Amino acid sequence: MEIMKNVFCIKAIDWDIENFHGYSTPFGTSYNAYLIKGEKNILIDTAKYYCEFDFFEKLQNLIGSEKIDFVISNHSEMDHSGLIEKVIERSDATLVCSPKGKENLEKHFHNKSWKIITVENGQILSLGNTTFQFFLTPMVHWPDSMCTYLIDKKILFSSDAFGQHFACTEFFADQVGSDIIFREARKYYANIVNPYGTAVRKVLEAIGNLDIEMILPAHGTIWRNMRDIKNIIEKYEAWASNRPGEKVLIVYETMWGSTRKMAEKCYVEAVKNNYNAEMFNLGVRDISDIVAEMPEARIVLFGSSILHGQILPKMAGLLTYLAGLRFEKRKAWTFGSYGWARLSFNGFETLVKEAGFEMPYSGFYVQFVPDERALQILGEQLNSKILTV
Ligand code: FEO
């Protein structure tokens, strides 16, 4: 697909992927490589190894008997570098990457004979009649990551930044629908990029002075509409600040329905207090869907039953995952039902605090099944400790 004169998107679509290193991807994803034709043929990134057929078929249709002269690797993670070795073997192309990218790719492919040009932050480089500027973007999403700006066309190849895991035949975000694509972009940011907010702010500063007419990410759809470009940059600024949102999230895992009753009481109280409240039952929802809502959360209420002296395993998995994602400035409270091991909730509260939440009060726990009185007390405590302060 020609995105702009002599700039093509080679979109290897991964229709089947349901889990991207722990992140649920019910809509699949795509690995977007880009070809710039000119005095030199320049490829930006490749695709995951098992998309070989799709990728090379599309590349071949675009270049015919010509060869690739340069491969720019914005990011060495294997979803984008998986076919670099095969591209270089076929065409003897020169690799262009960041110094960290060189280190990583040499350790991935163990091939020391490649011709490699490393680029520094802000460096301008002409390859044939095409001139690029490179911006190193460490930790967005790996230490090696960089963005590539095609100067004369004012387009930014942003690598993982501004991407979405969303498989579709359309190429542009505005063809799919902004609500869907912004929601998937938020899920992507929350699950992949959130720990690196400081790094994201540096990237935004670096590209802040660029005249950008199109953002071409390495996953999902392309941002070409100026309103969408402005919006997604503003969203990244807001997400990178780790500011809490306005929602109350009620996240629970239940054995026999008692913790569920408590979750429902929490929901009713939150709605009564005019919060936009959402419920997530970990028995049926993936942890990455809950993380997707975390940028919008002001308060998170975690509920679990106790099994073998521990909270339930999906809740423990969520809290471990959240500890790595480093959301900040959100308040939390806990609730749950137990049989005989009430003290096990001490560990629950510790995990919630270690996941970065502010939890000024101990939670509310009930033995076996909560009766009306217990639910009333739960509501009163929730109001006085969390919702109305
Ligand atoms: Fe899409 Fe960090 O790779």
Map 191-258 to HEC letters: HHHHHHHHHHHHHHHHHHCCCCCEEEECCCCEECCHHHHHHHHHHHHHHHCCCCCCEEEEEEECCCCH
Report angle CA 175, 142, 96 to the nearest 5 degrees. Answer: 80
Identify the pLDDT of residue 22.
85
CA of 44 to the centre of ligand 1 (A): 14
At 112, is the pLDDT very low, low, confident or very high (cuts 50, 70, 90)?
Answer: confident
The DSSP bridge partners found for residue 33 are 10
| Residue 389 vs residue 252, higher pLDDT | 252
| Closest atom of ligand 1 relative to the 163 alpha carbon | 1
Q: Residue 159 CA: which ligand 1 atom is closest?
A: 1
CA distances from 358 to 155, 302, 323, 355, 382 (A): 41, 13, 13, 9, 15
**Interval between CA 214 and ligand 1 midpoint (Å):** 20
- Classified as helix, coil or strand, 291 is helix
Instruction: Provide residues with CB under 6 Å of ligand 1.
Output: 75, 77, 79-80, 141-142, 160, 218-219
| Residue 19 confidence class, pLDDT cut points 50, 70, 90 | very high
Q: 60: which 2 tokens?
A: 């071949």
Domains delineated in the chain: 2-240 (3.60.15.10), 248-387 (3.40.50.360)
Residue found by looking up tokens 């702010």 in the block: 201
The CA 233 to ligand 1 mean position distance, Å, reads 19
Q: Which positions are catalytic?
A: 21, 75, 77, 79, 141, 160, 188, 219
Q: Which tens digits make up the pLDDT trace of 271-311?
A: 999 999 999 999 999 999 999 999 999 999 999 999 999 99
Q: How far does the centroid of ligand 1 lie from the alpha carbon of residue 104, in Å?
A: 13
Residue identifier of the C-alpha nearest atom 1 of ligand 1: 160
Over residues 115-140, mean pLDDT = 96
> What number does the ligand 1 atom closest to the CA of 192 have?
2
pTM, entire model: 0.94
Give distance in angstroms: CA of 31 to centre of ligand 1. Answer: 9
**One-letter identity of residue 168:** C
Note the pLDDT of residue 388. 87
pLDDT of residue 61 exceeding 80, the answer is yes
Q: Tell the residue nearest (CA) to atom 3 of ligand 1.
A: 77
User: Is the per-residue pLDDT at 111 higher than 80?
Assistant: no
**Residue 385 banded pLDDT, cuts 50, 70, 90:** very high
Confidence of residue 389 (pLDDT cuts 50, 70, 90): confident
pLDDT above 90: residue 184: yes
Nearest atom within ligand 1 for CA of residue 145: 2
